[in-house]
Amino acid sequence: MITRRCKTLLSHSLKNRLIYNHLQNPQLSFLHSLLFSTKPQKTPKKSTITSDYFVQKYQFSYEIATKAASLLTRLKTPEKCVAVLSFFKEIGFSKMDLQNLVKNNSGRSLLCADVKTLKPKIKIFQDLSFSHSDIAFIVCENTWVLLDISKNRIFTSLLVLKNILGSVDVVVKLLKTSAWFIKHDLKKNMLPNIQFLLSCGIHLDQLNNHIFNFPRLLLHKPDKLRKFVVNVDEMKFNRESKLYLYAITCVASMNEVTWKEKLELVRSLGFTQDQIFQMFQRAPSAFAVSRWKIKDVVQIISGSGMYDSSDIVRHPGVLTCSVEKKLKPRLQVLDILKNRNLIKKSPGFSVLFLLNDEKFKERFVIPYLDELGDV
């Protein structure tokens, strides 16, 4: 009882002292209001939208509708999310598209954006005649296009791609696999690179086809691309060859140091400079494999006793073959057949790597199953 009275007196005393100090020093008023104010504190407005709303309006599954409703409860401005979903539905996004946005983290970030910033960017796609389904695919798979890329960059990139590739359909095909073209300054890199390669004798149709398999080639800095071309020309490569662009792509796949080290390795394996030129001219892709693989292939073929380095010069594509899965087992089979006089001589070198597995088995395994055993 005495303790309770002491607490009451202490509380009144503290309150009176704060009131007095407030009169003497108004700067303490905030402390008084904090300790003794009876006004309820404002809390963020909670979303009242339930999962049923998303089921009825968007035909979401119950699971996705629950996630959407849960997302709204965590937002300061849940109406933004509703506005974005409504906007996407209006412009042709399917139920599946909208559900994917709710399911994925990147999609949920997009749903939290201001619809006012999204509409002008979407309009660019619409004005360039992108279909609703194409826009939905590009946006749902690459939400950063609307979140991180400026309206001007989107417009410029799409316009450049359309002018180069010739139609929106082809642009869509490219963006479905390589949407990151949009984020690059294509006027700074891609256009100068195309103009330079055209001056080297490469046709635009070839470039347009090449871009789908090797999209990053045209996005190198122009000075780097010119250096790649210099390296290819130093290999005595004919610019009129259909493989010229592939040769440039091969060199562009590695840095300058790696390229020089790879050439030095091939020389150290006993190939002359002219032989190296011939190999590169016949199969540029052979020089795109690792140095260790080149060394392994050359050593296993040269050590087979059936073939030598001259065969590799004539058929450099063999350097791209798997040692463990193709070359080693086939050489082992051929060696057994030859040693047991089941074949008179080593078959042509192309058999070693050009025949598919079924054809190789038909010719060199199935007829000799008893002799080969478990090989």
Whether residue 277 is found in the same domain as residue 358: yes
Query: Does 288 share its domain with 367?
Result: yes
pLDDT of residue 37: 45
Q: Is residue 330 part of a domain?
A: yes
Does residue 285 fall inside a structural domain? yes
**Structure confidence at residue 75 (pLDDT):** 75
Residue 131 lies in a domain: no
pLDDT at 18: 41
Same domain, 372 and 277: yes
User: Across the 375 residues of the chain, what is the mean pLDDT of every consecutive 10-residue run?
Assistant: 44 45 44 42 52 88 88 81 93 94 88 94 96 96 95 96 95 95 95 97 95 95 98 97 97 96 97 98 96 97 93 96 94 92 89 91 88 68
Is residue 92 assigned to a domain?
no
Q: Is residue 75 part of a domain?
A: no
Check whether residue 229 and residue 311 sit in a common domain. no
Looking at the fold, whether 277 and 199 belong to one and the same domain comes out as no
Q: Are residue 245 and residue 318 in the same domain, yes or no?
A: no
Question: How many structural domains are present in the chain?
Answer: 2
Q: Tell me what pLDDT residue 361 has.
A: 92
First CA to last CA distance, the chain: 98
The tens digit of pLDDT for each residue in 49-92 reads: 778 888 888 889 889 989 888 888 887 778 888 999 999 999 99
Cα Rg for the chain, rounded, in angstroms? Answer: 35
Is residue 332 located within the same domain as residue 240?
Answer: no
- Domain-embedded: residue 311: yes
- 311, containing H or E segment: helix 309-314
Domain boundary among 218, 253, 288: 253
- At 77, is the secondary structure helix, strand, or coil? coil
**Pair 288, 214 in one domain:** no
Q: What's the DSSP call for residue 184?
A: S
The reported pLDDT for the residue numbered 374 is: 62
Same domain? 372 vs 301 = yes
Q: 242 is in which domain, residue-wise? A: 194-253
- Burial (CB count within 10 angstroms: exposed 0-12, middle 13-18, buried 19+), residue 370: exposed
Q: Judge whether 345 lies within some domain.
A: yes
